[in-house]
A = this chain, B = another copy of it.
Amino acid sequence: MIALRSELPLKGDTSSRFVVWLVMVLVFMASIALTTNAYIGALLFHWNQSVTGTLTIQIPVMLDAKDPASTATTERVLDVLNRHPAVERATAVPREKVTELLKPWFGAGEAVADLPLPVLVDVRLSTSEPSAINAVSNSVQSTAPGAVIDDHRAWLNRVIGLAEGLGAIAITAMALVTIALGLTIVFATRASLAEFAQVIDVLHVVGAKDGYIAGQFARRALVQSLIGGGAGLLLYAPTLGFIAWLASRIEPGILPDISFPASHWVVLAALPFLAGLIATITANVTVRRALSAKV
């Protein structure tokens, strides 16, 4: 009962609102940063996933579709691939699909129908190890020299670089937020110490111990951080919704719909408590330091 009674006013002074506001902003920023990071991670995983373990092989034979030699080369390559241990499945891309892919270049006219087209083979690997890709590549090359093998990684690597950069910014933001939170609490606690100098004097004179006074400040900081942190999350929810709505309205499908793992939400929900923890410890240390300079 006595432990819960506060000798410091929690409301009504400026520094307490200051902490509540700043923690709100900080938790808000942290949650946005976390989500950005998680989204980028998920996006990379998604892209990787849709690309990893697939190859496209282009057999450089400019032969007529009905030409048996062309068919023979294709058959041979398919045979080699399908017997390869690292390959799950290899299929020739149907001529119609290749025609489709070339339409931007040749139009849809009958001209294409008679055109000798390259043969494309889609390969799904059973593994994504680079060594397996090399092995497959080698055996295709020896069967059909000059075959072009595309593991789709060139463009992906560029995008991954960009996304990882954004992720780094998000992580940096998180680190800055943590530091800012600590500084805020130190600074607000010092301000409170000044603001409550007389209250502290009186508590001292009536025999309160440093731990007791520090505890009062720490509890205040805890409550303020929890309130501020909760408010930050409350602010975060509609913001996320708004951004998702904007994104969906602008370009449906350009960004895949990603559902975050439960752990993400757990971490988000833990943010106010994390802020509370940081606040409690910081306030305690700050007050004890300041008090130890007194008589």
Contacts and interface: CB of A to CB of B under 8 A. Distances in A.
Interface of A: 12-15, 17-18, 21-22, 25, 58, 60, 62, 101-102, 105-107, 109, 111, 115-116, 118, 146, 148, 158, 161-162, 164-165, 168-169, 187-188, 191-192, 194-195, 243, 246-247, 249-251, 254
A246 B107 contact: no
Contacts of A195: 13-14
Contact of A251 (B101, B162, B168, B247): B162
B251 A146 contact: no
Given A107-B58, A111-B62, A118-B106, A169 B243 contact: yes
A148 B188 CA distance: 68
A58 B60 CA distance: 25
13 contacts: A14-B192, A15-B18, A17-B18, A22-B22, A60-B107, A102-B105, A107-B148, A162-B254, A164-B250, A165-B250, A165-B251, A169-B243, A169-B246
Given A62-B115, A115-B116, A168-B246, 20 more contacts: A13-B195, A14-B14, A14-B15, A14-B191, A14-B192, A14-B195, A17-B18, A22-B22, A58-B105, A60-B109, A60-B111, A62-B109, A62-B111, A105-B105, A106-B118, A107-B118, A162-B250, A162-B251, A165-B247, A165-B251
Contact of A161 (B158, B168, B251): B251
A60 B111 CA distance: 8
Nearest to A251: B162
Contacts of A250: 161-162, 164-165
Given A158-B251, A161-B250, A162-B251, A106 B14 contact: no
